[in-house]
Structure 1
Amino acid sequence: MSSPQVIFLGGLGRSGTTLLERLLGQLPGVAPLGEVVHLWARGVLAGEPCGCGAPFAECRFWHEVGELAFEGWTPQVARTVLALRQRVDRTRRIPFVDHRDLGRYVHAYRAVYEAAAEVAGADVVIDSSKHASLAFCLMAGGVDVRVVHVVRDPRAVAHSWRRTVERPEDGRPMTRWGALRTSMHWTAQNLALDLFAGAGRITRVRYEDLLADPRTTLTRLAGELDLEPDFGFLRGSTAMLQPRHTVSGNPMRFAVGPVELSRDDAWHDGLPRRHQTLVAGLTWPLMSKYGYRGAAA
């Protein structure tokens, strides 16, 4: 199997990575895979549904990927990768990513990417795992990675993390964070992803720009990522989405058909003023760098 180009979508959760993956995943020759970092626990072990709606074990796409990559999915494979992740793939280890188990860990991801590309007949795969540490592991392990750094106003992100949202997979509430914790993680993930800028293999996109002008933003991204700019699925501010085989991610990975591309700015009224002030105060250096104003609009 030949190695595909891997587009890695990085950033803190609730920043728009799943939406961007769904949009880029409509382009010819591109196979979006969802958050591959969670494939092992949520797909193989828990059997959560694929983005196509079928349970992981019943999805023909993932069945074929498992056969090609590992001669079938087994709990042993999943638990081995999860154990390696605990030793290798940690944000605090980014400066020391050359761990003795790095090769084994990256090999599992490379096997998934290569098998998925072959099954999908694609030249490019998208992994929206988000975590900067995994992106560093992949690059250090020799994977052909292009990182797309997705940024969103941290106050909007904090508001999203406060909301109670049910997981469509099982109806349980998604994880909730307070303003302080969100601010810390927003800063840590974005600072870590900024380190890729020196390597020249990172493209940054703001959630707000993507929603303000989807076609222009996607055209720029397609050019920088060497993707075919076929945007026939865009009709003004509406995207016509086809089902895709994404293993984990935001609930909108299940969306099919017309999806209106509009900004969610509910944080202006929904996030308490004291929390807006706290988040802006804790994140202001990067907020300014990314073009966000400190005062509420």
Structure 2
Amino acid sequence: MARVLYLGGLGRSGTTLVERLLGELPSVCALGEIVHLWQRDILDNERCGCGARFAACTFWKRVGERAFNGWGNVDVARVHALQDLVERTRHIPRLAAGQMPMDEVREYAGYYAKVYAAAAEVSGSSVVVDSSKHSALAHVLRFADDLDLRVVHVVRDARGVAYSWTKTVARPETDGAEEMTRYSPGRSALLWNAHNAAFGLLARRGVAVERVRYEELLTDPRAALQRLAGFAGLSLVPEDLDFLGPGQADLGVGHSAAGNPMRFTVGRVQLRRDDAWRSALPPAQRRMVSTVCGPILRAYGYPLSQKEA
């Protein structure tokens, strides 16, 4: 049975950083955002985190052979049809209640389960990390057969998330041809509420969910990783965290299938909070996001005003 650590939350919350740090632990294989594998990798042949095109990456070739006897045997049109049918945020209440077309839900989840099991076998890891983030996919995966699903709910201050979504960020895997999606602060505030509430609902349905705040991770990454490793069923020794130094981490090459541009970063990276939103996000927009997201911000321990911080 594949043990999967699914990183969930709204984009720009730090999931890629969490994935990269987890991927440095022994017996852990970080896979990136598998939700995008079907289009961006199998069809579009974008770049793996190792820098190679997906079709040329030895790791992913071996995963495809074990999972499907080759990626050419995957009916991507069928995967997309199933995704449209069952993996939508609006379907989460029905997924939580088990009121969706369950044969299709299990079929769609089965594609992911095959990838996870094959990746664990190829890498020799006991835990694989999927940083897909999508709350609807997490609800689908709880119906997968032979899957030990454990969800890490990654949360960041909604004001920081809102500011990050306004930035222009290129997608390196497209060689500069495309940019990442942008949202207005109002739109991102609504999405922040919806996705975070959805992970709370998932926990109430019996799925193991561990919340980690982006700000706490950067304050004490060693303690946060030890906690997440325990949640994943891993026992660490102090040497396993030697890649962490004061305010920094040394990252190796990974095989992230899709995700934030940070997945291509190799070598020493600085671990510091990005609080630019405090001065860069206009006051009226800060107040609006604080109001819209106030109840959940408070529940997660975030102050609603800078005076409280």
Work out whether the TM-score is over 0.5: yes
Where does residue 213 of structure 1 map in the other structure? Answer: 220
Q: State the alpha-carbon separation in 2 of the partners of residues 228 and 246 from structure 1.
A: 24
Of 120, 127, 130, 1:127 maps to 130
Gaps in structure 1 of 5+ consecutive residues? none
Deviations 1:35-72 (A, max 9, x none): 00000011101111000100000000001111111111
Q: Which residue of 2 aligns with 1:286?
A: 296
User: Using the alignment, how far apart are the partners of 1:180 and 1:75 within structure 2?
Assistant: 42
CA contact (8 A) 1:33 1:247 kept: yes
Map 1:114-263 → 2, pairs under 5 A: 114-142=117-145, 143-170=147-174, 171=176, 172-198=178-204, 199=206, 201-229=208-236, 230-263=240-273
Paired position in structure 1 for 2:22: 24
Partner of 2:58: 60
TM-score by length of 1: 0.96
Check 1:173–1:75 CA distance in 2 against 1; reply closer, same or farther (3 A cut).
farther
Structure 1 counterpart of 2:80: 82
Aligned to 2:256, the other structure's residue is in SS state: coil
> What secondary structure sits across from 1:144 in the alignment?
strand
Number of residue pairs matched by the alignment? 295
Structure 2: distance between partners of 1:75 and 1:167: 28
Q: CA deviation at 1:76?
A: 5.3
Following superposition, the deviation at residue 281 of structure 1 comes to 0.6
Q: Is the 8 A contact 1:27 1:228 kept in 2?
A: no
Q: Distance in 2 between matches of 1:254 and 1:78?
A: 26
Q: What is the CA-CA distance between 1:75 and the residue it aligns to?
A: 7.8
Contact 2:113 2:144 in 1 (8 A): no
Q: Could you tell me which residue of structure 2 aligns to residue 265 of structure 1? A: 275
- Give the letter aligned to residue 258 of structure 1: R
Question: Structure 1's 200 and 81: CA in aligned 2 closer, same or farther, altered over 3 A?
Answer: closer
Counterpart code for 1:50: C
Aligned residues: percent identity?
Answer: 51
